[in-house]
Amino acid sequence: MSTARAADRGRRAVGLGARASLRVLLAGAVAGLLLLGLPFAAQAQQPIAIKFSHVTTPDTPKGKGAEKFKELAEKYTGGKVKVEVYANSQLYKDKEEIEALQLGAVQMLAPSTAKFAPLGAKEFEALDLPFLFADEEEYAQVTKGPVGKWLFQKLEAKGISGLAFWDNGFHMVSANRPLITPADFQGLKFRISGSKVADQYFRLLGGLPQILAFSEVYQALQTGVVDGCENTPSNYLTQKFYEVQRHISAADHAHLQYAVIVNTKFWNGLPAEIRGQLDKAMNEATDYTNSIASKENEDSIAQIEASGKTTIHVLTQPQRQAWKTAMMPTYEWAKGRVGREVLELLSKAIDSRTH
Ligand code: LMR
């Protein structure tokens, strides 16, 4: 772990170094133009840079969505905007990237909504409630509707603007022993990404949850710092978690979604025309990401199965029902964490077949 941290610090130092030398180069170029007597407007032709930092690999729904946004943003602005995508925690880890956004060191992120408490927006954790969404369609409807808007309003006071929700499907959960009944979770340590709602449902199953950054999970599983984790198939595949977990259960017990967020000062400071072009790019990148998520995850499950390195258990309806019953007290508990308002909005939005 210390090697990973050192490497991470090294990468960041290189990043900072590169930024510093870029600034020096820019300052030099401006000074040169001034000497030539060119008007300032003619000098200000540098593209606007958007640094988009995220923690998954480029070949995940989020990674592909970020690349799609880059392609469309650069196309629609005719090159006036340059999007630099930093994938796989290469620039910042989970909590650091949120701080970096607030400080303006990066301009765009797409964290999972389970990581929004450090932003002062723990209401987002309502989306982590167990067995909340019946399917992807229901998830999409809810986040596009009043719940999504209400959540984004919560960010405004923090200097952050929400642009879109991106999908990454339902979590699986794993350990080195089969997790079939609630009793199987007893006494196992599970990595969670940040949400207290997830903390709660693991505790109700007798598990011992702990928060770790995404980039640290593989090693924590490998060395036994934790016994298990939850995540979507595409993340199990691309982070190789399946290599160090002998059993994975698919029960669709919770959903993983991202909110694409920007620093409001930066976003509102953009020329209106450019912001419009970027909005269009984001809308299309969102449709694209949400349209590939299910298939990407299905393909990932197939690849994990084909590896022969782990066993995937698809839970039967009665087995799922037993998990659901054990986790349901999370809803009552959540009133004190996320507040009643978002829970009421959610229950209005969600089809009655779920509960
Ligand atoms: C996690 O930390 O497990 C996820 O939020 C990672 C991601 O961004 O998909």
Atom of ligand 1 nearest to the CA of 214: 2
Query: Residue 344 pLDDT > 80, yes or no?
Result: yes
User: Residue 154: is its pLDDT beyond 50?
Assistant: yes
Q: Which residue has the tokens 């003619």?
A: 42
Q: How far is the CA of 115 from the centre of ligand 1 (A)?
A: 9
285 lines ligand 1 (CB under 6 A): no
Residues 168-224: pLDDT tens digits?
999 999 999 999 999 999 999 999 999 999 999 999 999 999 999 999 999 999 999
Residue predicted with more confidence, 166 or 32:
166
Is 143 close to ligand 1, i.e. is its CB under 6 Å away?
Answer: no
- Write down the pLDDT at residue 7: 38
* Ligand 1 site, residue 231, Cβ cutoff 6 A: yes
* Contact 193 CB / ligand 1 (< 6 Å): yes
Judge if the beta carbon of residue 330 lies within 6 A of ligand 1: no
Helix%, strand%, coil% for the chain, nearest 5: 60, 15, 25
Res. 352: pLDDT tops 80: no
CA proximity to 193, closest of 155, 151, 233, 231: 231
Local confidence band at 27 (pLDDT 50, 70, 90 cut-offs) = very low
Q: Is 195 in the pocket of ligand 1 (CB under 6 A)?
A: no
Q: What is the pLDDT of residues 222-242, one digit of tens each?
A: 999 999 999 999 999 999 999
CB-side neighbour CA atoms (13 Å) of 227: 16
| Between 33 and 121, the higher pLDDT residue | 121
Please indicate whether residue 112, judged by its CB atom, sits closer than 6 Å to ligand 1. yes
46's CB contacts (< 8 A; 6+ apart) are 26
Q: C-alpha distances in angstroms, 191 versus 20, 253, 325?
A: 36, 16, 22
Atom of ligand 1 nearest to the CA of 232: 9
Q: Which pLDDT score is estimated for 45?
A: 77
* Single-letter residue type at 77: T
Within 13 Å and on the Cβ side, how many CA atoms surround 149? 6
Quick check: 341 pLDDT over 60? yes
Q: Is 55 in the pocket of ligand 1 (CB under 6 A)?
A: yes
The rounded percent of the chain whose pLDDT value lies above 70 is 86
* Measured distance CA(168)–CA(232) in Å, rounded: 7
- Alpha carbon 347 to chain centroid, angstroms: 24
The pLDDT value recorded for residue 1 is: 37
- Residue 310 in contact with ligand 1 by CB distance below 6 A: no
Interval between CA 92 and ligand 1 midpoint (Å) = 13
**Stretch 25-41: mean pLDDT:** 39
Residue 353: the pLDDT is 36
pLDDT in tens, 260-284: 999 999 999 999 999 999 999 999 9
Measured in Å, residue 269 CA sits from the centre of ligand 1 at: 30
Give the pLDDT confidence of 293-336 residue by residue, as tens digits.
Answer: 999 999 999 999 999 999 999 999 999 999 999 999 999 999 99
Q: List C-alpha distances in Å: 194 to 47, 58, 116, 125, 173.
A: 35, 22, 8, 9, 16
Whether ligand 1 lies within 6 angstroms of the CB of 235 is answered as yes
Residue 167 has pLDDT above 50, yes or no: yes
Inter-CA distances, 159 with 151, 152, 276, Å:
14, 11, 20
The confidence score (pLDDT) of residue 38 equals 43
Q: Tell how far the Cα of 87 is from the centroid of ligand 1, in angstroms.
A: 12
Q: Which of 94, 218, 235, 241 to mutate to test the pocket of ligand 1 (most atoms within 8 A of CB)?
A: 235
Token pair of 262 as six digits: 């920007």
- On average, the pLDDT of the chain sits at 89
What are the phi and psi torsion angles at 247 (to 5°)?
-135, 135
CA of 37 to the centre of ligand 1 (A): 51
Ligand 1 centroid to 23 CA: how many Å? 32
Token pair for 302: 């197939």
CA of 34 to the centre of ligand 1 (A): 47
DSSP 113: G
Is there an atom of ligand 1 within 6 Å of 237 CB?
A: no
Cα 13 to Cα 6: distance, rounded to the nearest angstrom: 10
pLDDT in the model for residue 351: 64
**Mean pLDDT throughout 1-29?**
37
Cα–Cα distance, 311 to 297 (Å, whole number): 16
DSSP tag of 105: S
